[in-house]
Structure formats: C-alpha cells, structure tokens
Chains A and B, each alone.
Chain A
Amino acid sequence: MKTLLDSTRMNITLQRLAHQLVEDHPSFTDTVIIGIQPRGIYLSDRIAAMVKKISGNKQIDYGHLDITFYRDDVHTSNIQVPKHTNINFSIEGRNVILVDDVLYTGRTIRSAMDALIDFGRPKKVELLTLIDRRFSRELPVQPDYVGFAVDTILTQKVKVYWQEKDDKDEVVLIDKDK
C-alpha cells in the first residue's frame, strides 16, 4: 500500500481544483455542480463549499446524482440498491460540472451522462475528478479538471478516504494480490 496524497496535499489539490473552476466560470450563475453517488459526493461537497467561498456566490446550484438505473452491468454484477438523487434545479442550457472521486474505465461517467440528460439538455458537461487512473479507459472519456494523475495496472486499486465517511483524508494505491 502506497500513499498517493496525504491530508495536507489533498487539501492543496482540492483548493487548486476549486480555483480552476472559478477561473473558468467566474460568476458561476450558469454553472452547476453535480456529484456522483456514492463516493463522488464527498469530493463534490468540499468543492462546492470551496467554490462558494472563492467566488463569493452563495447561490450556486449543487446536487447529487445516482446512476444505478443507468449502469450497463445490471445482469453481470450484483444488483445494487440506489442512493439518493437530489437535483432540485434545472440543468437546461447550463454548464454542468460532474464530479467523481476516481476516473478509471469511464463507464460510470457514461452512465452519469445518460442519467443527466434525462433531467434536461445541458449546454456543456465537464468532468472533474480527484484521481485520474490513466491508460485504463474502456470508453473515450477524458476529465477536464484532474487532481492527481496516476499510472496503474489492472491488479491495483486506488482508494480515496474522506474525513466525513472514513475519519481520515488520504488517497492510497493498493496492490490487490499482495
């Protein structure tokens, strides 16, 4: 097991991502942030709070999206009980920033885009991810904002721990066969 980001570095990285978002979307009036359930929401909660502080706009539309019903592996993996979707605003014609903790095969993001489009037609969809596992994509999905890029092999796993859920902030790389 190897630590990729400790809590100090993780915080610096999150601050940078939030600043990048505000740099690209100065007023944040036409931009919304949507975190992907279950583990993307810890990242998006933090990012949304930081963006509110940095931009000075307290009215940013922010929600959670569950993608369970849009997965492409309903019949090949175990059935999952969904978490809550909470999007109480219109995404029609607006910029959407999708947020997830780890980008790996790209399949979750594919499902998330399908789910999103059932809520309306966004003007533009961007992707923010804390960890980008490069060279492991199964679909042509690329992130717009990356916290930390890492080259991994199939037998490795990247795990992000969050204070709110796991009592610590840390990103680790785990070798499964060891």
Chain B
Amino acid sequence: MKLVSAIIKPFKLDEVREALSAIGVQGITVTEVKGFGRQKGHTELYRGAEYVVDFLPKVKLEIAISNEQLDQVVEAIETAARTGKIGDGKIFVYDLEQVVRIRTGETGADAV
C-alpha cells in the first residue's frame, strides 16, 4: 500500500478531486497548509509598514491506495493540478505499513 501526499494550489482542489474520483479513489483527506518553495512570496504594505509574506497558502491531500493504483493516481493529480506556472506544488509517495477501518476493524488492502 502507498500513501500519496500532494501539495497543490488551493483553487485546483476540485479538479484534482474529480480526477481522483474518476479513477476510483474512495477517499482523500484535505488540509489547508502554508509553505514556501521556488515560488516567491509577496509584499504587503500597511500605512508604510512593509511585510514580506514568505509562506503561501496551499492545500495538502493525503490519499491511501493500493500499490496497483499508484501510477494512475500520481498521473491524475499531476494532470489536474498543473497550470505550468511556478508554485504548482509537489507529490510525495510513501510506503504504507498498515491501514485499519475503525468501524469494521478491517485491515490492510481491504481497509483502503
């Protein structure tokens, strides 16, 4: 099993969710996050006081999937989240040791 974690632009969330649903992904977890990468922040100015805002708002998705789904899922996120401009985000893939569905107690691939 794999855990895919993707940082994307907030306005791309709906497109990514639709793309993932279309290939049969059963569930995702979404967190609002802030961070920086190659994309530069911006400057804010309040009555002459200038603040450089380095951390930009992004959305982080976490998706638990079976090994077979991996390539398809990564490709779906990549395609849906891409604008071609700097700041589109990154996708991280981890090995996932165990999954438990709390309601039924199912474990492993059955619980994904």
Q: Are these two chains actual partners, yes or no?
A: no
Binding site for B on A (CB under 8 A): none
